[in-house]
Chains A and B, each alone.
Chain A
Amino acid sequence: METLTTRGRLGAALVIGLAVASARPALNAQSPARALSVAAASDLQTTLPGLVARFERSAGVKVAVSFASSGALFAQIQNGAPFDVFFSADIDYPKRLIASGHAESGSLYEYATGRIVLWTRQNSGVDVTRGLTVLRDSRVRRIAIANPQTAPYGRAAVAALRHDKLYDAVQGKLVLGENISQAAQLVDSGNADAGIIAMSLALGPAMRARGRFKEIPASAHPPIEQGVVITSASRAKGTARQLLDYLKRPEAIELLQHSGFASPAVPAR
């Protein structure tokens, strides 16, 4: 068309060029059999990469991890997401996947029990050594927890507050993070004065140096049972089982404990 100027032609070339340059990527970024695709709850952000790296070295397997909320991963696996292994923050999801036929019944393993802590920034002036009662202070204006409706760590936080008879007093100061990681960000960024977060996050390299925390006794809340399961659609079940076996090894358990998880009470249920 003579109506398109040189500039117009250049513009069209730009768009089309980009599009044409987009060849379809190779379907498998990883080759089959000696690779695993793992879905993990976001509270494992600071812990799982280290664990997985050791496994990769010892087993000679390449592992790709995708983090998201346990609920979203649950829905995705039910709709055909190509994950081999699912690390959930809540053992309920893997149980439901087994019930709906999307996960192998024999593979369920409670790999860790979550712990919660009261965390605050270094210079916040909040004395966390006093435990949860410090949250009554008027200086503590906002308290971050994970959303109890969707996150097991959030439910545990609420349970702990009720246990200490603090819930009614501090309810108005609660700020909800979409997941435990977001709750941690809220405190870390100063938007909340203190927060009840996962110990695994508090011990992580990013937060350890920046704040102080106090453990909340496990007796104050129902146990946060974290379960892992192998999906039915997995094409690398053998390798997946290797990963689950690795979790039972003393070095793995030690790493988990070191990272802020309690060791599993029993291997499988």
Chain B
Amino acid sequence: MKGGAGPMATRPTARPEKAPTVEHRFFELIPPRLTIDFVGLRFKMLILSWTLILIGLVSIYLHGGLNYGIDFAGGTMVHVKFPAPTAIGDIRGALSRPELREVIVQDVGQGGREFQIRVLGAAEGGSTAVADGIKAGLREKFGEGTYDVLRVETVGPKVGKDLWRDATLAVLAATLVMATYIALRFELRFGVGAAVALVHDVLLTLGALSIANMEFDLTTVAALLTVVGYSVHDTVIVSDRIRENMRKMRRESLATIMNLSINETLSRTLITSGTAILVTAALFVLGGSVIHSFAFALLVGFVVGTYSSIYVASPIVLYLEGRKTPR
């Protein structure tokens, strides 16, 4: 910068690199020299994790599978909005017509005003018979124009089948790619830890979706994949610190280093998870019915993903260490 004038001019002053005697006071939620024994809690947490996963799986089993949207099952969906809260029973009543079998009516959480009406698997490609039947039923019961048809969707059965395969492949591929990346960047056991953590997160999120009876559709899979990315993101931060401390403290046991690292990064972990969870909560509460289950899956996944990098990924690294050098 020639001439040196202007607001961005620099003054070449020789600066003595001596620590000024300033006491640093930061606004902190987590005190810096925290020593929580995370590692010591790992077996209790292991039991907690698996209990929760089991509950989720039982819920999925009892519900006879996830609450599939038409993306996966094929079929017809009509999304309606009433000006005032409406009883779900009235809507079901309106739809008990011979041409409609097995109608699923779901309140999509907008104060009893919005409902998704689904008929799974029945739709032949291009046929609007089911959608027409639903619309006719509503019209007869509530009268034309007293409600608003927000969306009408029909998906052929073949798409659903392909989608299942694609979704499963995508989640598996994501998990493998992440684990491989971590294994290459760090060590194999970190990769294994990350992979187990991811499976853990996906299973827990699926369970939560089932328990909350949230619809499982395309966007929910997108949310799962995002959770996978996010969870690894978190695992990377913790693993990165573990690796750094392992270099610094060669004498310490891995358990000590791990505890130290988790404590050191805890502030960051909680803050960034906090902001991510804040915005997702905003989406969940304010984002409307279309992305309700999407935001829900993200919300649960982020909480679980944060937890898993501390309590699932790290203990596995430790376990694999124990096997490498048996005491």
| Co-complex (A, B) | no
